[in-house]
Structure 1
Amino acid sequence: MSKPEREFHLPSGPWEVPAGSAPGIRERTIAADADGSHRTAIVRWAPGTDTSSSGVAVHDFWEEVYLLDGGLRDLTLGETFAKGCYASRPPGMPHGPWRSEEGVTMLVFTYPRSPDH
């Protein structure tokens, strides 16, 4: 499936709480295919957001994340990542939990595992 063809525009969809997310996390989908398996979203974490209670995240889809503003700390790795950092996570890759003292805004792409991988 393909995402819709759109020229430059100001995304105007609602800010929503992702299912199962920690308090303080909101996202706005800016593009998605018909079944939602290929998505692009802006994700915002409020200052002080902490995903420790959710533990390490693992999912069955690809996820690419580019930090647009702010930063977050990976509590497992003990490293802090700031504006301009990028992550590419294949299905099954453990990551997090995270804490963001100052808040963070990120561009997130998700898409399914290819049938041959």
Structure 2
Amino acid sequence: MQQKEFTSLPPRPKLNSSAEEAYPWYSVGSGIWEYPLNSSNSLDSPTGTTSITSGERSVIQWCEPNVQWPLDNFVITHDYIEEVIFLEGGLKDLTLQQEWGPGAYAYRLPDMKHGPYRAGENGCLEFVKCITRGSGSDVRILIISC
């Protein structure tokens, strides 16, 4: 992780933005954007997915209003620790039929089942931190949650 002083968050992408219009945010799925904050593996290139073997990554994630993911409605699992707190807006867990808003917090261990989700009518802005389980485990950070 790199030491950084306070900076302002860039404006979030407008609806239907192109990758060029959204920069420095990058798309991780239809209507889902990430802004990289910090990483222990120099992962700030906007590729939409990231593979790492160890370390951690922090992003701000923006989900446009009413976006649902994953599109196939499957429950989500991954092999990394995920820590999430909602800053603005919220989402609905479609499995639990539970809605969450600003201040909602989750700490998920590897292989914990969660989702699928739908962002609220005002979208969802959240802080997400991912930490690999341990050295040598392959982590793909895709659409995390919103």
TM-score range, shorter chain: 0.7 to 0.9
State the 4+ residue runs in structure 1 displaced beyond 6 angstroms.
Answer: none
**Counterpart selection for 1:60 from 55, 58, 79:** 79
Provide the TM-score with structure 1 as the length reference.
0.85
Percent identity between the aligned chains?
A: 35
1:48 aligns with 2:66: yes
CA deviations over 1:80-115 (Å, ceiling 9, x no partner): 000000000000001100011321000000011146
Q: 1:24 aligns with which of 23, 31, 40?
A: 31
Aligned residue in 1 for 2:125: 105
8 Å contact kept, 1:63–1:109: yes
Given residue 5 of structure 2, which amino acid in structure 1 is its aligned partner? E
1:44 counterpart letter in structure 2: W
TM-score, with length taken from structure 2? 0.69
Q: Does the C-alpha gap of structure 1 residues 52 and 11 become closer, same or farther in structure 2, counting only changes over 3 Å?
A: closer
For structure 1, which runs of at least 5 residues remain unmatched after alignment? none
1: CA distance, partners of 2:42 / 2:4: 18
Structure 2 stretches of 5 or more lacking a match? 11-22, 44-54, 136-146
The answer for the alignment partner of 1:80 in structure 2 is 99
Mapped to 1, the partners of 2:9 and 2:125 lie a distance apart of 15
1:35-91 Cα offsets, whole Å, 9 max, x none, are 544111000000010115241110000000000000100001110000000000000
The one-letter code sitting in structure 2 at the alignment partner of 1:15 is: W
Offset of 1:10 from its aligned partner? 2.8
Name the counterpart of 2:144.
none
Q: Secondary structure at the match of 2:26?
A: coil
- Number of residue equivalences: 110
Query: Alignment RMSD, CA only?
Result: 1.7
Letter in 1 for 2:6: F
